[in-house]
Amino acid sequence: MASHRKWSPTGTRIAGIRTPALATAALTSVALLSQTANAAPSADSKPSIEEVEKKVDDLYHQAEAATEKYNATREKTAQQRKRVDSLLDDVAQRTEKLNTARDELGSFAAAQYRTGASAPDTATLLLADNPQDYFDQTQLMSRLTSRQKVAVDDYITEQAATTKKRAEASQSLQTLTTTQSALRTSKADVQRKLAEARDLLSKLTTEEKARLAAIEKKKQEAADRKAAELAQQQAAAEKKAQEAAAQQQTTTGTTGTTGTTGTTGSSATDSSYTAKADKALAFARAQVGKPYVWGATGPGSYDCSGLTQAAWKTAGVDLPRTTWDQVNVGTTVPLSDIKPGDLVFFYDDISHVGLYVGNGMMIHAPKPGAYVREESIFYGGESIIHSVVRPA
C-alpha cells in the first residue's frame, strides 16, 4: 500500500510558526525596503543643477506674482484708509453740529423754565433714540415757536446724518481691517517664496554655482541672438516701408493726386509718442544699477511695475500700480511692431513688465538680488512674452 505522507512545505520557522518560502521572501523584501527608506538619501537623489535653476526661477516668478498682489492690496488699503479718515472727519464735524443743535434746544427749555411757560419735555426729546418718533407721538410741534421748530429740524437732520455716517465709518473700518490682513498675508507669501529660493541657492557648492552661472550665460547668449534677429527683421521692415513710401511719393508727384492726410496724421501721432517715449526711456536709463526691491516705487529702488510707472510718469502718463492694470492701458500691438517706450509683459499671469528700448532690448527690474538693467526681451524665451502695449 502506498504511503500517505502529509505535505510539509519547506520554509523557516518564525515565532513557532512554519512559513512558506514565498512568505519568507516577501518579509525579506519588506525588511530591505524598510532599510532603504530609513537610510540617508544617496548622492543620486540630489536634484541636478538644471532642476535647481528651474525651481529657483519658478520661485522668483511666484514671488513676483505675489508682489503684484501685494501692490494691488496695498493700493486698495491706502484708498480704504483715506476713505476711513474722510468719514471719521465727517462724523466729527457732524457730531459738533449735532451738539450745537442740542445746546440750542436746551437753551429754549431753560428759557421757558425761567419764565414759567409751558415747555415741551426737552430732556425727553434730547434723550430720545428717534426725535421724529417723539414728535409724532406727541403734538409737541404745534406748541413750538418758528425759531424752535427750525432748531428741532436741524437737530433731527444732524442726528440722522451723523448716525448714517457713523455706520459708514464703522463698515469702512471693518473693510480696512480685512484689507490690512490681506496685505500681511500677501507680504508673508512673497517673503516665503524668496526665503525658499535663497535656501536652495545657499546649498549649492562652489562648483555648482559655477555651473549655474554657465547655464545663465548660455540663456543670455540665446536671448541676445533672438534680440538681434528681431532688430534685423524690424530694420528690414522699416527699409521696405521707406522704399514703399518713396515710391508712393514718386507716383503722387507724377499723377498730381493728393490724399496724404492720413499719412501726415499718422506721422504726427508717431512723433508725439516718440517724444513721450524718449522721456520715459531717459528716466529708465538713469535708474540702471539701482536694486530690485519688491513693492518699491523709487527713487532708490524699484520692482518691475514700479519702474515702468515711474518712467512713464515723467512723460506725463499716469500708469496704474500693478502689471495687471498696466496691461490694460493703451493699445496692444504685435511684437513685430514693437517700438521704444512700449511695455512688454511676461508670463500667462502677467506678473512682469519691462520698458522696450529698441533692438530687442528692454530696461527692467528683474528679480530680488538683481539690479535694474538692460536685457533682451527674450531673457526667458519667446514663449513667456505675453503682450506688448503702447501706453500713450
Which residues participate in catalysis according to the annotation? 304, 352, 364
Instruction: Specify whether the CB–CB gap between 153 and 105 falls below 8 A.
Output: no
Residue type present at position 381: G
Distance CA 16, CA 8 (A): 15
Longest Cα separation, the chain? 142
Write the secondary structure of 5-68 as one string of H (helix), E (strand) and C (coil).
Answer: CCCCCCEEEECCEEEEHHHHHHHHHHHHHHHHHHCCCCHHHCCCHHHHHHHHHHHHHHHHHHHH
